[in-house]
Chains A and B, each alone.
Chain A
Amino acid sequence: MLRWGAGAAGSLAALPALTACGQTVGAARTTRQASTRRGQKVELVFWTWVPMQKTVDLWNRTHPDIQVEMQTIPASVQGGYQKMHSSLTAGNPPDVAQVEYHELPGFMLVNGLTDLSEYGADELRDSYVPWQWQQGVFNGRVYTVPQASGPMGLFHRRDLFAKWGIETPTTWAEFEDAARVVKARGNGARLCAFAPNQPTWFAAMCWQRSARWVRTEDDTWVVDMEDDLSREVADYWERMVRDDLVFVEPDMSSAWYKHVQTGKIAAWVGPQWGDALLRGNAPDTAGKWRVALLPQWEAGQKASANWGGSSTAILQGSRHPREALQFAHWINTDRRAVDLNISVGYGWPSAAGVFRGSALDKPDPFFGGQRYNDVFTASDRAIDTSWKWSPTTDADFAQLQDAFGAALAGDDSLAGALADGQQSTVDNLLAKGLKARSAR
């Protein structure tokens, strides 16, 4: 018996030598610049879920030598990244793809991005907002060109607030008071909805409270989601839910849009790119909305948060990285391109100093003639940019989302869900072969 065991262990130990020898994980093909003959047209493929076709058309008109084909993919984790990871593994990736900031460490983990420093990306640095640029820098090398971010603000219905006698809340305490007033006077309306399906939103709330969920110490990832600051945020929303001051429903879903359209929801703590969603899905509420800065935890503070943000990445395996980088830089900094991108709601530009005089810089009838982007300019400046993302964000947030769902069904509290999320994040990092530990 013993002998058999030893033999089996021996043959099992020999397996790696037979099977996995030298095989690398991740991208099946590495980026290499193909040589092009003079006058030869270069063709690039670009994957994005933002409807940027007009911008791409403009590029194709002005750059006859480099033609870009835009292909629309499902947004983020609804299929987009699945597709990208499969294409990397299969060795047929697009040249350029839209990747959110919080996904970049995950792509780094599978060696899925092209080192752009090799192709002169460092010289482009000054064209961008520094913190957005830093999102794509790992170990001092540039891996992606930033596209846009999502500074947050408080979208609210001026008319409903006036009807119910609510001042625009400037602190979270006032926000809660406002929620109680809406519940009392609103005839079934609520101030806003808590969306258990949006861990990225919840992370933004903790970000504003100056919690930091992930940090690194030497070569170890340290996860800290149960800290006092995050707990405070969790307890706050716990109370809002338990006291029935908010709807509990997925945002950007049909039920939520229905509530927005019918004035049952009077506010949304949302990102700048949310303007396009309100405009597109509740056109009948035009003119009634306003934007204010995020409520603060302590009066007089000026902390803001970010939700979302994307970069234009050159995936590992492209044959035209030089041209792809040229395209990625142009699409995010050329004034006409930026204006076209703004018109389709791509977010808050990463290009430095393009706000003044751009399509963002004008009064908007949907927001009652408010120059609402002035608010987001201020919000953008107040974002603490030291926030870091873990390379397993997709899995972490999926599990956090499940934990929120279970907590709200009565099994647990939101703070308990955060503790679960912390544990599963550490597990996820370890499962990927990384060094990780809990902060407490």
Chain B
Amino acid sequence: MSTTSNRTTTSAPGGRRSARPDRAAWGFLLPFVALFLFTFVLPLGYAVYQSLLTPVRSGPLGLGPATLGFAGLDNYTLALRQSAFLESFARVLLFGLVQIPVMLLLSTGLALALDTLSHRWAGIMRAAYFLPYGVPGVIASILWGFLYVPGVSPVVELLGKAGLAPDFLGYDNVLWSIANIVIWEFAGYNMLVIVAQLKAIPQELYEAARIDGASPWQTAIRIKLPLARPALVLTGVFSIIGTLQLFAEPLVIKPLTSTVTNSYTPNLSAYNEAFANNNIYLAAAESVLLALVASVLSFGFLSLVNRKERDAR
């Protein structure tokens, strides 16, 4: 790696670079920067601003006119004092610790299997595995919800006849029932990312491995997996962010059971504060906290795997 980068810096003719390409680059970047500012930085700044405000009331029983006052960090302390909000973080972390490895193992397994399958079948299987991703999360949750509700679900009925009485929506199980929906939705999607990476591996490596007498297993473990690493890191980061943003699935499952609370996940908590409790300032504080945790976790994960990569070299 280091040799290539050396070559590029020294290869500029005359040792001096013209300013022109830079200006062109900015021209190309401008639409992105504008969109980035407008759809990301601006709303983020507005959320931070709102999280610092609070209504100040007057009049009999506080039903009179109210003005907006500066709250400092009051909304943040209020959010962090709510045990339900803190529990929601613990819940999604537990969820992620179990769901992400299971899903990525499944995706990797499927990707490796597809990579060795003959071309005709690979195409069909790839489409089949990817299909759930085409179903919107809300619809998927409604479909799975029907399979979970006792009295309506054929699965529960069949298992009941077999002497098992699963309570998919019970207090201890509902989180894993939601995990099941998420795995079903995203395993195929992540598989596709990994397959793409596997396809990019130069064929010579396989040829060399075959000549050296490596078995398909050895090829998979020693060559494919290490070289698919960037894809695994990428899907890992996506999954961490996705887990923290868990929203549609619990929201749809909620009417079916009392075990999914109004602050089941941090996102759900902020949503309910904003739209059901009409407390947008507290909701803004909760959202900012969620964004902070998400970036700490994903950057933490990235630096962890990158350090391992550096150590390995």
Contact = CB atoms under 8 A, between A and B. Distances in A.
Interface of A: 12-13, 15-16, 19-20, 22-26, 77, 81-82, 85-86, 89, 105-106, 108-111, 138-139, 196-197, 216, 219, 221, 248, 250, 253-255, 258-259, 391-392, 394-395, 398-399, 401-402, 404-406, 408-410, 428, 431-435
B94 to A, nearest CB: 16
Given A25-B67, A109-B63, A254-B149, A433 B57 contact: yes
The secondary structure that dominates the A interface is: helix
Given A250-B257, A402-B263, 16 more contacts: A24-B65, A25-B67, A77-B276, A109-B62, A138-B63, A139-B60, A253-B149, A391-B63, A398-B272, A405-B258, A405-B259, A406-B171, A408-B258, A409-B259, A432-B62, A433-B57
B275 interface: yes
B66 A219 contact: no
Interface in B54-75: 54-57, 60-63, 65-70, 72
B63 A433 contact: no
Nearest to B70: A16
A16 B69 contact: yes
Contacts of B55: 25, 432-433
Nearest to B256: A253
28 contacts: A12-B72, A15-B70, A19-B53, A20-B67, A20-B69, A24-B65, A81-B276, A86-B275, A105-B63, A109-B66, A111-B65, A138-B63, A139-B60, A139-B63, A219-B60, A219-B61, A258-B151, A258-B152, A394-B278, A395-B276, A395-B279, A398-B262, A398-B277, A401-B258, A401-B261, A405-B259, A409-B171, A434-B57
B247 to A, nearest CB: 15
B52 interface: yes
Contacts of A435: 62
Given A16-B69, A25-B55, A409-B259, A432 B61 contact: no
B149 A255 contact: yes
A214 to B, nearest CB: 11
Contacts of B132: none
B255 interface: yes
Contact of B262 (A13, A22, A253, A399): A399
Contacts of A15: 52, 70
A434 B258 contact: no
B137 interface: no
B170 to A, nearest CB: 8
B110 interface: no
B78 A431 contact: yes
A196 B262 CA distance: 13
Given A24-B68, A111-B66, A433-B55, A253 B279 contact: no
A394 B60 contact: no
B32 interface: no
Nearest to B274: A82
Contacts of A216: 61
A110 B65 CA distance: 8
B49 interface: yes
Contact of A197 (B53, B255, B280): B255
Contacts of A197: 255, 258
A23 B299 CA distance: 38
B84 interface: yes
Given A86-B275, A255-B151, A409-B171, A221 B259 contact: no
B282 interface: yes
